[in-house]
A and B are shown apart, each in its own frame.
Chain A
């Protein structure tokens, strides 16, 4: 291997590892999502946003409502909305397609037809 090639490789490895270190050591910004962001996301996803009170109204009035609790099973067990079913999805984007088949089965089991109202929380 020529000396030039070795130098290029060494510099390259320093650059890559430096970038990786910088990216993995960024301060984690954590803040609650604003209502605008929630609504934007909902619009992009094609679903609607409910407030707690609206959900309560539906809970009381809509007969074949399916409420889905997406938290972990132990959280569900400690307390959940009355009549809610547990379907655990981690808040990661790949769960959205990794668990797609499972969710399809889950909804087929719990929802009567495609018009049935579904509420996720």
Chain B
């Protein structure tokens, strides 16, 4: 890579640091208390690079899809009549008006997003609470029922009218944009709520702003074009039955989000199968059972696509779980778990893991999914430290505390928290050998 940047003398030492150290050449190490670079405050699992791009693309598509729901659709004539009233103005000014309109819309939604992200730390903590998780899932399900048409969610009519009253000039366009979110709120509300909770788990204001700005852009882009080229209104598919189908699709997405929040409560097995069941049910309902017709051919393809994608995901989710079988039930590191080990006189198995390390994945997929290993692991307190993303303060401390030199590393601790140093694992080992180590650790615990 450095070569393509124009550097001429580029070398690589494939044996790396371990060989250098073993040869006794000069090395430097930094104390754990003083990070080489100051650690930036980072929420759990900030999205980066491609993942962020993919997520934003999906959010953008979600914003676009919102335009198809019946609640937003009435806004389109409002938009057109508002901008149609400016007919006397040049295209340039109309573009500015359209831009301001979208800016207002994006601002309203992004403020919501940032507010959610700012309370993210708090909400993130709350999201560990089973009652809160169940509450969120319940609200999502209630909104999903609204999407399925069991009840209607709408603002009082007087507020609706006040918000859609037109103001003159550029400020009018901006104000129109700011308020159109309010008018559309009964429709996008449940979707936004789902996103709010999701952004809160990410805990980053910047991400919150990005997510909501993108959602708003997706929502606003068709309105922008409509505003500027208002003459093209007639070519849109007519508001009809098929948009109720789109509403149902969004309803199923909300059900999926509800299950996502319930998963920690349901446990691995039930959570996985409920999720698969939701995909299957959504596919069958939207693709087969729903008899909605539309006057254009693309609709049949949309139904087919939903059927195909839903069923494929359902089979895949259930299948991967069934093929792999249950694995060792790892917990995230916490002092309380070590306390529990002391009380129950159980040894501790501490696994340092990272997604990008092949032997780690092999250890997880083969050894830690071996039936005997899983069974015997119930005699241990099992803790996993996931080092996939750097910069987590707790993880840095643990790595220093236990002198972890690389991943994978599996450490056995006595119930009192002392490492059984002769049992440390630093590479993939097959289930048979690992069982030997586990027995060894148990014997040592019993002797004491």
Interface Cβ pair total, 8 Å cutoff? 196
Q: Is the CB of B358 within 8 A of A55?
A: no
In the complex, what residues of A have CB within 8 A of residue B8's CB? 114-115
Q: Which of A17-49 contact B (CB under 8 A)?
A: 17-18, 20-21, 24-25, 28, 30, 33, 38, 42, 45-49
Closest to B310 in A: A13
In the complex, what residues of B have CB within 8 A of residue A21's CB? 315-316, 319-320, 323
Report B292-311 CB contacts with A as 1/0, cut-off 8 Å: 00000000100110011001
Cα distance A17–B405 in the bound complex, in angstroms: 39
Cα distance A116–B10 in the bound complex, in angstroms: 8
Q: Is the CB of B7 within 8 A of A107?
A: yes
Q: Is the CB of B25 within 8 A of A92?
A: no
B interface residue count range (under 10 / 10 to 19 / 20 to 34 / 35 or more): 35 or more
Q: Is the CB of A17 within 8 A of B312?
A: yes
A interface residue count range (under 10 / 10 to 19 / 20 to 34 / 35 or more): 35 or more
In the complex, what residues of A have CB within 8 A of residue B1's CB? 45, 96, 100, 103
Q: Which residue of the partner chain, among A13, A52, A72, A111, contacts B13 with CB atoms under 8 Å?
A: A52
In the complex, what residues of A have CB within 8 A of residue B35's CB? 73, 77
In the complex, what residues of A have CB within 8 A of residue B319's CB? 17-18, 21
B49 at the interface (CB under 8 A from A): yes
B167 at the interface (CB under 8 A from A): no
Report A89-121 CB contacts with B as 1/0, cut-off 8 Å: 011101010101001100100010011111111
B325 to chain A, nearest CB (A): 11
Q: Which residue of the partner chain, among A13, A90, A94, A111, contacts B7 with CB atoms under 8 Å?
A: A111
Cα distance A9–B300 in the bound complex, in angstroms: 12
Q: Which of B30, B303, B359 has the most chain A CB atoms inside 10 A of its CB?
A: B30
Q: Is the CB of B9 within 8 A of A30?
A: no
In the complex, what residues of A have CB within 8 A of residue B316's CB? 17, 20-21
What are some 8 contacts across the A-B interface (CB < 8 A)? A45-B1, A49-B12, A82-B27, A94-B50, A107-B5, A117-B9, A118-B9, A120-B2
